[in-house]
Amino acid sequence: MKVLIVFAHPERQSFNGAMVDAAVAALEAAGHTVVVSDLYRMGFDPVSSRANFTSVKDPDYLKLQIEEMHATEVGGFSPEVEAEIEKVEACDLMIFQFPLWWFGLPAILKGWVDRVMAMGRTYGGGRFYATGPFQGKNALLSVTIGGPPENYRKGGFNGDITAILRPIHRGILQFLGFEVLAPELHHGPARATPEQRSAWLAAWQARLAAIGQESPYDVGPY
């Protein structure tokens, strides 16, 4: 299996970074090929603009989806965007590794989605959800969360984590055709003991060693 890990954390030595290292080791030991897009260390520009393209459809008015469809037709994506699209197209499993920031994706990862998931190439023309171009591929959110689990239950302080992640699961991953696997959630890594964090990393590796056998996850109701 080919696995793409899209990693968004400003500190490489963070617990998120340890989750990436654990994943790469476990997946490679199981015979899989792993590619990591480490967005901060790549200096990935999250701002969607004309810099997404080498081609131009309308020089007078920038409508991103029109330019995306044109770039799809003429091979006009910038090298930075084209390289990321090709990584997604090549993978069987895509993992997003990130800390929950403001109930969502860190801006650098949201910007990666904005720029890389381009109309024409990754959705559009009636191709989305069950007909999305990435059917047959799996996707998984591996998320660290500052608050404790009890704050993220239905009726809890922050509300149900399933509902918080649903816009990403449904509005991005399933929209593009991915089958969603259960999210990997770790609450309060900074407050956990070193032993607890080591146990989480080991459990993550055990999960990944058998990731090919997992069934799809229910992303929750509308």
**Shortest Cβ distance from residue 62 to ligand FAD (Å)?**
29
Q: Contact region for ligand FAD (CB under 6 A) — 30-38, 46-54, 94-102, 208-216?
A: 94-102
Applying CB under 6 A, does 194 fall inside the site for ligand FAD? yes
Applying CB under 6 A, does 40 fall inside the site for ligand FAD? no
| Binder among 99, 111, 132, 133 for ligand FAD (CB under 6 A) | 99
Q: Contact region for ligand FAD (CB under 6 A) — 38-46, 67-75, 89-97, 186-194?
A: 186-194
Between 135 and 174, how does the x/- string for binding to ligand FAD read (CB under 6 A)? ---------xxxx---------------------------
Q: Is 79 exposed, middle or buried (0-12, 13-18, 19+ CB in 10 A)?
A: exposed
Q: Contact region for ligand FAD (CB under 6 A) — 13-21, 32-40, 48-56, 86-94?
A: 13-21
> Rounded to an integer, what distance in angstroms lies between the CA atom of residue 222 and that of residue 206?
32
Please give the residue ranges that form the binding site for ligand FAD (CB under 6 A): 9, 11, 13-16, 18, 99-103, 144-147, 189-190, 194, 197-198, 201
